[in-house]
């Protein structure tokens, strides 16, 4: 049997964004491994011919248990091991003994067993500065691990906004290949200097103009306006696409999925009205702040700077994670983002439908990046 397409397999696949990108690039992605139930439901719905294994990858830890899954040798193995132990979000001091820090070893184990031509592992920028309990840089440990199983390893720091995604999302990509050749970071296509649409990337071989970075409003301006609790899981479009990004992301879809607003109390909506672009719940007048739980209506003195930040429509979005639904406010409407708006910002096409509880992409939100 002739292999028609190069094959990639997706580990720690989440809802499937990484694998979807490889499919768009011409790869076949016949297998995904993911522990989250809702993410697996989403994968199976959108990829009916894909083998989706809902299991802890640490339980698939022998050569036979891995190799018995495949008909063909994969050309590329991709994945993004959970990253809280490395992330710069949350508490400044991470636990170097956090077991999630070592899940890359399970990824490396698959690489060692399968020996693909290449692998791509994605993680948070904070990984570059993290050290283990002995004070050794984690990134150096990771590079050495892959080098010892026969790979030439590069580490790329990439901002998605500089490649046509409408959000500021810095991630590192650990890229290995068995040919021993340096690939180099892909040339940027978009400029973050929105004041100069003719920004030039002088480092490219041929001097060409970059496109201006896409903004939040470029991504979502055509979606139906919603008030709290409005929207349905399947609805028609009510307007035409307004730019090339929207035409591309509609992907010939005839139905708009997952555009449902969360239910907010009248008090929360009133609080949202006092939050301007770039501000968050911590910036509202005291009388509109959250009340203490079991505090007889007293105003809470605790505020969280990252909670309910109103996004600026004319800039790329802040980083969107699976828990985005409670992190950000629509730039003009007094509500949190819908799952579809979050998907638009992450560049999922409109025909990619998310299953599970409405407005939530992941069941275990603690496993997001």
Q: Supply the pLDDT for residue 313.
A: 98
Q: Cα separation of 294 and 148, whole Å?
A: 56
- Determine the distance from the C-alpha atom of residue 323 to the mean position of all C-alpha atoms in its chain, rounded to a whole number: 10
CATH of the domain spanning 216-367: 3.90.120.10
The CATH superfamily assigned to 7-190 is Vaccinia Virus protein VP39 (3.40.50.150)
Place of tokens 């579809």: 340
78-88 core/surface letters (b: 16 or more CB in 10 A; e: else): bbbbbbbbbbe
Rounded CA separation 208/330 (Å)? 34
Which region holds residue 105: left if phi is over 0, alpha if psi is between -120 and 50, else beta? alpha
In contact, 71 and 31? CB cutoff 8 Å: no
Q: Residues 205-229: what's their mean pLDDT?
A: 88
Query: Whose CA is closest to 341, among 261, 280, 270, 282?
Result: 261
pLDDT at 332 over 70: yes
Res 367 pLDDT > 60 = no
Q: Which of 57, 83, 120, 124 is catalytic?
A: 83
Task: Let me know if 40 is a catalytic residue.
Answer: no
Write down the domain spans for the chain: 7-190, 216-367
pTM of the model: 0.84
Position 92 pLDDT exceeds 50: no
**Phi/psi zone of residue 296: left (φ > 0), alpha (ψ -120 to 50 degrees), beta?**
left
């Amino acid at each position: 049997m002739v292999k028609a397409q190069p094959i990639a397999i997706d580990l720690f696949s989440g809802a499937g964004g990484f694998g979807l990108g490889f499919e768009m690039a011409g790869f076949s992605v016949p297998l995904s491994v993911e522990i989250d139930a809702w993410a697996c439901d989403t994968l199976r719905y959108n990829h009916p011919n894909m083998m989706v294994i809902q299991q802890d990858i640490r339980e698939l830890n022998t050569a036979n248990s891995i190799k018995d899954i495949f008909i063909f040798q994969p050309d590329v193995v991709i994945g993004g091991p959970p990253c809280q132990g490395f992330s710069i979000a949350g508490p400044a001091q991470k636990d170097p003994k956090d077991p999630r820090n070592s899940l890359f070893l399970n990824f490396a184990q698959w690489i060692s067993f399968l020996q693909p031509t290449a692998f791509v592992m994605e993680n948070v920028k904070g990984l570059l500065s993290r050290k283990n309990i002995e004070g050794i840089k984690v990134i150096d440990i990771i590079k050495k691990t892959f080098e010892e199983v026969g790979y030439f390893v590069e580490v790329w720091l990439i901002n998605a906004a500089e490649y046509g995604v409408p959000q500021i999302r810095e991630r590192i990509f650990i890229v290995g290949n068995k040919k021993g050749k340096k690939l180099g970071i892909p040339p940027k296509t978009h400029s973050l200097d929105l004041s100069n649409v003719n920004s030039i990337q002088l480092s490219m071989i041929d001097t060409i103009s970059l496109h201006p970075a896409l903004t939040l409003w470029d991504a979502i301006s055509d979606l139906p306006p919603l008030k709290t609790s409005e929207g349905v899981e399947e609805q028609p479009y009510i307007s035409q696409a307004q730019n090339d990004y929207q035409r591309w992301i509609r992907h010939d879809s005839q139905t708009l999925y997952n555009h449902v607003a969360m239910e907010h109390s009248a008090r929360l909506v009133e609080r949202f009205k006092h939050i301007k672009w770039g501000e968050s719940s911590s910036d509202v007048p005291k009388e509109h702040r959250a009340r203490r739980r079991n505090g007889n209506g007293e105003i809470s003195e605790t505020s969280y700077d990252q909670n309910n930040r109103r996004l600026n429509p004319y800039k790329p979005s802040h980083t969107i994670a699976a828990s985005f639904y409670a992190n950000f406010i629509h730039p003009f409407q007094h509500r949190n983002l819908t799952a579809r708006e979050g998907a638009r910002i992450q560049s999922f096409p409109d025909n990619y439908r998310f299953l599970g509880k409405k407005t939530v992409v992941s069941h275990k939100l603690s496993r997001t990046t």
